[in-house]
């Protein structure tokens, strides 16, 4: 105890006794005939909130134990070498109890006063984000830092003025606001870049953390851009839960965004939803289905797969589906050397598909109109609450193939319209890699970008997504993820370093996100807008010209 008190006193003495403003080496001072001096402790100078270590990758400073500091908070560090005019930004990645005492002093009972409160503190670990410097002409520039702030440079919680530059690097699709720890920086929106969208995007979250809410906010921003003809890509959402169109369980849907309804076209299999004039009946022509659309759907045996591959050789033209189901058709296949049982199984599967997917018709198809709307940069919502999972995957796969074919064709002709983004819910089902039967989505992940087709993969389990595929994704929107393996998979695949954010991602609350995308210099903490609030704001926006259409007439999509 005596030792500790002495240590504390020694420490106090060091601050109290000497009144100099600068420290200098004893040798240096001896040479000029002065006594050594150390920095003075006064009102404006104390050990707290000053950079004390450690290196270019990690800054440390201490704060009083009572100070409320949070993971994820952004701090600014004003370099004392003022001629440089540099302000460093860093994000808090860890907090630890620390003290000036040695040994197990904090677990040894020695009466009431066994420690001095000014000898214990919290050590804050922060990850450097970059450095703001003044360029010639007074312009400020943010860049990755190649140096460390001077020792004892003062640290403070970053103010909105210091973060304002982030507003300038944000994109055009607003999804939320900047978050500094738990505090929102209301003035600085977080917005993704349209240009990055054909480079694939992933939305990752444990169930209930706000994936659907995020997608509605994202789609609403896309509708807004499309309404003013400013959108740079079309967005396809195939919704098997029927929650995006009019919301569910007290939430609102995309068609409640009256102000920007022009930016969306909807196709549905649900009669109730078809009552709305801007919702069309979903149809797909039989002739649009190719043997490979059937092929991607089931775990076929090698013999069955071979038979399916032969179909387009044996039957010419668009009538193959009907032809194969006739007894003459079956005989043709058997004559090609395929077993009767194999052909029987394929026939039964096709009948099941036709039976379960009642939107398949002889006459009309929504697909050409859908692709036109995507090329025009609109949001295309395919609402299929009445279909089962296999039918959903069949339709999604069929649509994706049709989209990719058309985009390839138009790219080759040099006449392609806007890029598009295909949303895949529960993406781990189709992006698992390996010998999976849904290689179609994997090929879009690998080569879609060349033709302007991107994927928006939504999943609760990124650990099940193939690592190589995930590394093709340039935009990550990470909401709370409880599972360590999920976080590790993202850290391994992200274009920006997420390893220091592990604890923060684990502690994210509903609607809180980390957004990592190429055009924003570091992974940005965000609070995603609550859709219902964002909706209200957008509906109020601008002139009242576009309003009042509730229940009124909107021309149906083509
Ligand atoms: N940005 C947000 N701000 C405030 N609350 C939010 C936000 N996002 C989501 N929530 C709340 O969390 C609830 C669940 O959100 P949501 O349905 O989007 O989660 P989810 O991840 O899609 O869930 P599931 O996996 O079950 O589909 C919402 O009803 C809402 O109350």
Residues near 240 by beta carbon (within 8 Å), at least 6 away in sequence: 384, 385, 387, 389, 392, 425
**Is 32 buried (19+), middle (13-18) or exposed (0-12) by CB count in 10 A?**
exposed
Structure tokens at 266: 């909807």
Q: What is the pLDDT of residue 366?
A: 94
Distance (Å) from CA 211 to ligand 1 centroid: 6
Question: Is the CB of 459 within 6 Å of ligand 1?
Answer: no
Rounded CA gap, 289 and 318, in Å? 8
pLDDT per residue as tens, the chain (558 positions): 444 443 333 333 333 333 333 333 444 444 444 454 444 545 456 889 999 989 989 999 999 999 999 988 999 998 867 566 789 999 999 999 999 999 888 888 877 777 888 899 999 999 999 988 877 777 778 888 888 898 899 999 998 888 888 888 899 999 999 998 888 888 899 999 998 887 899 999 999 999 999 999 999 999 999 999 999 999 999 999 999 999 988 899 999 999 999 999 999 999 999 999 989 999 999 888 888 888 777 777 888 888 888 887 888 777 788 888 888 888 888 888 888 888 888 888 888 888 888 888 888 899 999 999 999 999 999 999 988 888 888 888 899 999 999 999 989 988 888 999 999 998 888 787 655 445 678 778 888 889 999 999 999 999 998 888 888 899 999 999 989 999 999 998 888 888 888 888 988 999 999 999 988 889 999 999 999 999 999 999 865 444 333 333 344 444
Cβ atoms of 286 and 351 within 8 Å: the answer is no
Between the CA of 240 and the centroid of ligand 1 the distance, in Å, is: 17
> Which residue, by CA, sits nearest to atom 14 of ligand 1?
208
With left for phi above 0 and alpha for psi between -120 and 50, is residue 377 left, alpha or beta? left
Q: How many Å lie between the centroid of ligand 1 and the Cα of residue 516? A: 20
- Three-class DSSP category at 92: strand
Please identify, by atom number, the ligand 1 atom nearest to the C-alpha of residue 527. Answer: 1
Alpha carbon 211 to chain centroid distance? 10
The model carries a pTM of 0.84
DSSP bridge pairs for 156: 76
Query: Burial level of 48, CB count in 10 A (0-12/13-18/19+)?
Result: middle
pLDDT recorded at residue 11: 34
407-454 per-position pLDDT tens digit? 999 899 888 889 999 999 988 887 876 554 456 787 788 888 899 999
3-state secondary structure of 457: strand
Q: Kindly give the residue spans of alpha helices, DSSP state H, lying in 98-210.
A: 160-169
Query: Quick check: CB of 264 below 6 Å from ligand 1?
Result: no
CA of 207 to the centre of ligand 1 (A): 8
Q: Which atom number of ligand 1 is nearest to the Cα of residue 216?
A: 18
Long-range CB pairs of 270-276 (<8 Å, 24+ gap) are 270/242, 270/383, 270/384, 270/385, 270/386, 273/242, 273/245, 273/246, 273/383
Task: Identify whether the C-beta of residue 245 lies closer than 8 Å to the C-beta of residue 381.
Answer: yes
Q: What is the pLDDT of residue 372?
A: 95
Q: Convert the pLDDT of each residue in 460-469 to its tens digit.
A: 999 998 888 8
Nearest residue CA, atom 9 of ligand 1? 210
Nearest to 217 by CA among 514, 547, 550, 527: 527
Q: Which residues contact 516 (CB under 8 A, 6 or more apart)?
A: 475, 476, 478, 494, 495, 496, 498, 523, 524
Q: Report pLDDT for 433.
A: 61
Ligand 1 pocket test, pick from 427, 428, 479, 510 with the greatest ligand atom count within 8 Å of Cβ, gives 510
Q: Angle 382-196-462 (CA atoms, 0-180°, nearest 5)?
A: 65
CB 208 less than 6 A from any atom of ligand 1: yes
What is the distance in A from the centroid of ligand 1 to the CA of 469?
27
SS3 494: coil
Predicted complex: ipTM over 0.85: yes
Give me the pLDDT at residue 219, please. 97
CA 291 to ligand 1 center in whole angstroms:
39
Q: Is any atom of ligand 1 closer than 6 Å to the C-beta of 508?
A: no
User: What residue owns the CA closest to ligand 1's atom 15?
Assistant: 210
CA 128 to chain centre: 22
Q: Which helix (H) or strand (E) holds 424?
A: strand 419-424
Cβ–ligand 1 contact at 175 (below 6 Å): no
Determine the atom of ligand 1 nearest the C-alpha atom of 241. 27
Dist CA 459 CA 513 (whole Å): 14
What three-state secondary structure class fits 368?
Answer: helix
Q: Which two tokens stand for residue 387?
A: 């279909």
What is the chain's percent helix, strand, coil content, to nearest 5? 40, 25, 40
Q: Which atom of ligand 1 is nearest to the CA of 460?
A: 25
DSSP-assigned states of every residue in 8-68: HHHHHHHHHH---SS---HHHHHHTT--------BTTB-SBTB--EEETTEEEEEEETT--
pLDDT at position 30 is: 47
SS (H, E, C) 197-223: HHHCEEEECCCCCCHHHHHHHHHHHHH
Whole-angstrom distance, CA of residue 261 vs CA of residue 551: 12
466 lines ligand 1 (CB under 6 A): no
Give the H/E segment covering residue 531. Answer: helix 531-540
Kindly report the protein residue whose alpha carbon is nearest to atom 6 of ligand 1.
511
């Amino acid at each position: 105890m005596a030792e500790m008190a002495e240590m504390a006193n020694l420490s106090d003495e060091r601050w109290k006794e000497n009144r100099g403003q600068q420290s200098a080496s004893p040798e240096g001072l001896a040479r000029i005939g002065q006594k050594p001096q150390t920095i003075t402790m006064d009102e404006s100078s104390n050990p707290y909130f000053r950079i004390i270590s450690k290196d270019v990758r990690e800054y440390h400073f201490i704060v009083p134990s009572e100070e409320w500091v949070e993971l994820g908070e952004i701090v600014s560090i004003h370099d004392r070498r003022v001629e440089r005019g540099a302000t460093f930004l860093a994000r808090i990645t860890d907090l630890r109890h620390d003290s000036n005492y040695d040994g197990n002093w904090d677990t040894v009972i020695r009466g009431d006063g066994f420690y001095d409160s000014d000898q214990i503190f919290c050590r804050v670990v922060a990850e450097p984000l970059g450095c703001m410097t003044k360029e010639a002409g007074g312009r400020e520039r943010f860049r990755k830092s190649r140096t460390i702030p001077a020792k004892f440079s003062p640290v403070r919680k970053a103010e909105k003025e210091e973060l304002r530059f982030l507003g300038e690097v944000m994109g055009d699709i607003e999804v939320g606001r900047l978050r500094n720890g738990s505090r929102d920086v209301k003035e600085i929106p977080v917005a993704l870049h349209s240009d990055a969208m054909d480079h694939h995007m992933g939305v990752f979250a444990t169930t209930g953390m706000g994936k659907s809410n995020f997608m509605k906010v994202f789609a609403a921003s896309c509708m807004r851009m499309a309404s003013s003809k400013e959108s740079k890509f079309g967005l396809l959402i195939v919704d098997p839960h029927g929650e995006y169109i009019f919301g569910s369980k007290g939430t609102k849907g995309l068609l409640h965004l009256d102000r920007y309804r022009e930016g969306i076209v909807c196709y549905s299999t649900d009669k109730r939803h078809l009552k709305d004039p801007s919702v069309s009946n979903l149809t797909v022509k039989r002739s649009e289905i190719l043997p490979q659309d059937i092929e991607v759907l089931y775990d076929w045996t090698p013999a069955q797969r071979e038979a399916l591959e032969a179909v387009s050789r044996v039957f010419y033209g668009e009538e193959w589906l009907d032809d194969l189901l006739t007894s003459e058709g079956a005989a043709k296949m058997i004559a090609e050397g395929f077993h009767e049982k194999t052909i029987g199984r394929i026939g039964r599967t096709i009948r099941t598909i036709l039976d379960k997917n009642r939107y398949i018709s002889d006459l009309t198809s929504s697909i050409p109109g859908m692709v036109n709307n995507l090329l025009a940069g609109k949001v295309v919502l395919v609402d299929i609450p009445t279909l089962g999972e296999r039918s959903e995957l069949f339709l999604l796969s069929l649509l994706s193939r049709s989209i990719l074919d058309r985009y390839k064709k138009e790219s080759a002709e040099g006449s392609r319209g806007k890029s598009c983004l295909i949303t895949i819910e529960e993406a781990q089902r189709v992006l698992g890699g390996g010998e999976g039967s849904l290689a179609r989505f994997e090929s879009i992940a690998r080569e879609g970008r060349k033709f302007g087709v991107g994927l928006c993969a939504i999943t609760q389990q990124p650990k099940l997504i193939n690592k190589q595929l995930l590394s093709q994704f340039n935009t990550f929107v990470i909401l709370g993820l409880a599972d360590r393996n999920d976080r590790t998979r993202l850290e391994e695949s992200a274009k920006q370093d997420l390893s220091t954010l592990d604890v923060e991602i684990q502690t994210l609350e509903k609607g809180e996100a980390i957004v990592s995308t190429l055009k924003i210099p570091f992974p940005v903490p965000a609070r995603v807008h609550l859709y219902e609030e964002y909706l209200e704001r957008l509906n109020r926006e601008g002139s009242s010209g576009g309003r009042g259409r509730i229940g009124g007439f909107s021309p149906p999509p083509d």
